Amino acid sequence: MKRLLLSTVIASIGMTGVAHAADDVPGVDVSNWTGEIDWPAVVAGGGKFAFVQATEGTNYRNPIFDSQYGGAAAAGLIRGAYHFAQPHESDGTAQADYFLQNGGNWVSDGQTLPGVLDLEDNPYQSKNGKNSCYGLTAKDMVSWITDWTKKYYEATGRRAIIYTTTSWWRTCTGDSKKFAANPLWLARWGSEPGELPKSWKKHTFWQSAEKGPLVGGGNAFNGSESRLKELANPPAEVRVSGRVGGRTSYAVTIANTGPHPVTNVKLSGRAFGGQRVVKAPGCTFSGTAVRCVVKELPRRKKITFVFTTKPRKSKGTVGINVTVGSVKLTLKAR
């Protein structure tokens, strides 16, 4: 199986109070407690992105989420929503679903960041009687996070961002290494990010101050503004795989595994080994050549093309070379 990134077929419809690298991009995070925000002032102060709390558990939605989230977008900020986890109240799948239905769903508009799973010390210990890890073992916590992130990925095609501290992650997940595919939003107030949890070799976002000079918390994206925009609007992703069904049958599957629908995906193939193509449903063919065009392939969908050939000889190596974009496959049989 090989992967093809199709950047041309995407469907589109002030600092933090401490020193950062010159190419770090400043931003903010806000919640209901922040209140109404002067977003144009955030932009004027140098802010480029904003995270807005959408939900908590399965029974709380930020009452001013719409105005905060919409206001950030209207001001031209790249923005994303976050969910404050309550792992002791319900399972990860249920909380991810609640988040998705209440503002956390990712959309392909070039301005929306992947959703965030906020994992930190239990702030309600005096009320719920749970410890900092919400009463879960490290194994159960990893399972809970897995369920949440899996549900979010299945619904959006995006890897959720994980917000946490190194201390909490070590204590409550046993310093799990299972989430390296998810971008890290590290919370550590100070002048340096410090040591990271084992899942990650670098942070994507860093919350360096509880209160920044713009509004809400002070944050920075670890990279350039163009990379930040790419995180909001990644290239489409297509996976190509092949299967040999003997000397006369070859199948090629094109699967859309990314967050965008893709269009005009072209496949070309040429049989070799002294054989010709005699059947290719949905494609055009002549002699040794075959050509197929996928006009549109929705997210999470796939299509399989089957090519039947007629060898001139009963022995010897035969097969077909297939090209899909920059991906090349050779399917052969003896």
Distances (CA, A) of 89 to 130, 141, 332: 11, 12, 54
Q: How far apart are the two ends of the chain, measured CA to CA in Å?
A: 21
Q: Which residues are catalytic?
A: 29, 118, 120
Using alpha carbons only, how large is the chain's radius of gyration in Å?
24
| CB-based contacts of 5, cutoff 8 Å, min separation 6 | 235, 236, 237, 238
Residue 103, judged by CB atoms within 10 A of its CB (0-12, 13-18, 19+), counts as buried
C-alpha–C-alpha distance, residues 234 and 223, integer Å: 15
Q: How far apart are CA 301 and CA 217, in angstroms?
A: 39
Q: Judge whether 48 and 221 are in contact, CB under 8 Å.
A: yes
Q: How many residues does the chain have?
A: 334
- Joined tokens for residue 234: 């990644």
Residue type, 293: V
CA torsion sign, 16 to 21 to 27 to 28? negative
Instruction: Say if CB 200 and CB 10 are below 8 A apart.
Output: no
